[in-house]
A = this chain, B = another copy of it.
């Protein structure tokens, strides 16, 4: 009851940052689907550490080994399991965190919840590293969705207060959707991206970190995915998006901005585009009543600034029950947002593919 998404697809994530391995099982994939391991590797590389100055210097090949679920390169109906070995671990960097928890991290809450038995090395099961198995599952779903003409992409919408352009909510093309993901620094507007990178470098130089916002889009969706109330597309996506440790908010379409509008402004008028029902605007982010309406599905996630900063911080010594000053060692990202981009694509892809499987069941 913790690291499992249990829908028509069951995605079960395991591992700790410095355990022998991290991994995932995916149960419920249809049989006969080819999995392109090279493409999966390319997708995982977007999340892997060490690709730019904004990222931790811990280097991990992050090469998944598929243990089961494939036969002759295709899904065979059995659960797919994949692992990534942890190799480049420096556990002693974390020795003091059991007693002096890092502000903004799960060190303290895990210490209490697990009675001191939690694995603190590298953040244990709470490490951002656990998004790698999420990306394995999501990367496979992305491939299967693409085969149905459904595409998932994302970009950095903001770093600190520097904003990227937004996806066109109505006319979003496959090229526009996927272009940022092909860049080392995944933005639409490279000039904004340049400013963002400078801001990250500045924060890093000041032993600080930066947060940001990621926008994610899905196009090519049929009308009718998702369910009312507890299993709407918003519920499913939100549940998966908050699996990415640094996410503190999610909004669909206009989201919080919609709250400031009137109904006459926010409603998306329907019209016929040839024989297709479309909406002239897309403030709803492609979801009505929890169900896709065929317009681009769009959401944004707020990513907090990396809590692990090199500056001395106020904390407490749990054993002595007194205040303490903590200086964090270890290797950390001054800004996690670029690496969060593929993770949010993965979250969306799992949610959408799960809903698609369910719709296939119903539509028979």
CB contact list, A337-364 vs B, under 8 A: 357-364
A159 → chain B, closest Cβ, in Å? 9
Q: Is chain A's binding surface mostly helix, strand, loop or mixed?
A: mixed
**Beta-carbon contact of B79 and A2 below 8 Å:** yes
**Beta-carbon contact of A4 and B14 below 8 Å:** no
Question: Which of A52-60, A173-181, A261-269 binds B?
Answer: A261-269
CB contact list, A295-309 vs B, under 8 A: 302-309
CB contact list, A234-292 vs B, under 8 A: 234-235, 238-240, 242-243, 245, 247-256, 258-272, 275, 277, 279-280, 284-285, 288-292
A199 → chain B, closest Cβ, in Å? 10
* A15 contact from B67, B119, B203, B269, Cβ within 8 A: B67
Residues from chain B with Cβ under 8 Å of A75 in the complex: 117
**Beta-carbon contact of B302 and A231 below 8 Å:** no
Complex Cα gap A235–B351 (Å): 13
Q: Is the C-beta of A50 less than 8 angstroms from some C-beta in chain B?
A: no
* A228 contact from B66, B78, B321, Cβ within 8 A: B78
Residue of B nearest to A115 (CB): B32
A151 → chain B, closest Cβ, in Å? 19
Chain A interface: which size bin?
A: 35 or more
Q: Is the C-beta of A105 less than 8 angstroms from some C-beta in chain B?
A: yes
> Given A32-B114, A109-B292, are A254 and B261 also a contact pair (CB < 8 Å)?
no
Q: Is the C-beta of A224 less than 8 angstroms from some C-beta in chain B?
A: yes
Per-residue contact bits, chain A 72-83, to B (CB 8 Å; 1 contact, 0 not): 001111111101
Residues from chain B with Cβ under 8 Å of A69 in the complex: 14, 16, 19
CB contact list, A1-40 vs B, under 8 A: 1-8, 10, 12-16, 19-23, 25, 27-28, 30-32
Per-residue contact bits, chain A 100-140, to B (CB 8 Å; 1 contact, 0 not): 01011110111011111111010011100010000000000
Q: Is the C-beta of A146 less than 8 angstroms from some C-beta in chain B?
A: no
A2, A125, A311, A363: most-surrounded residue (chain B CB, <10 A): A2
**Known pairs A25-B25, A71-B119, A256-B302 / 17 extra A-B pairs, C-beta < 8 Å:** A1-B231, A5-B230, A22-B68, A74-B117, A76-B114, A76-B118, A77-B125, A83-B83, A104-B267, A109-B292, A110-B289, A113-B291, A211-B258, A230-B240, A264-B311, A270-B315, A272-B316
- Sort A-B residue pairs by CB-CB distance and give the 10 closest, nearest first: A106-B289, A249-B251, A361-B361, A78-B125, A360-B364, A269-B314, A2-B227, A209-B263, A249-B255, A31-B114
Residues of A within 8 A of B (CB): 1-8, 10, 12-16, 19-23, 25, 27-28, 30-32, 65-71, 74-81, 83, 101, 103-106, 108-110, 112-119, 121, 124-126, 130, 158, 160-161, 203, 208-213, 223-224, 227-232, 234-235, 238-240, 242-243, 245, 247-256, 258-272, 275, 277, 279-280, 284-285, 288-293, 302-309, 311, 313-316, 318, 321-323, 357-364
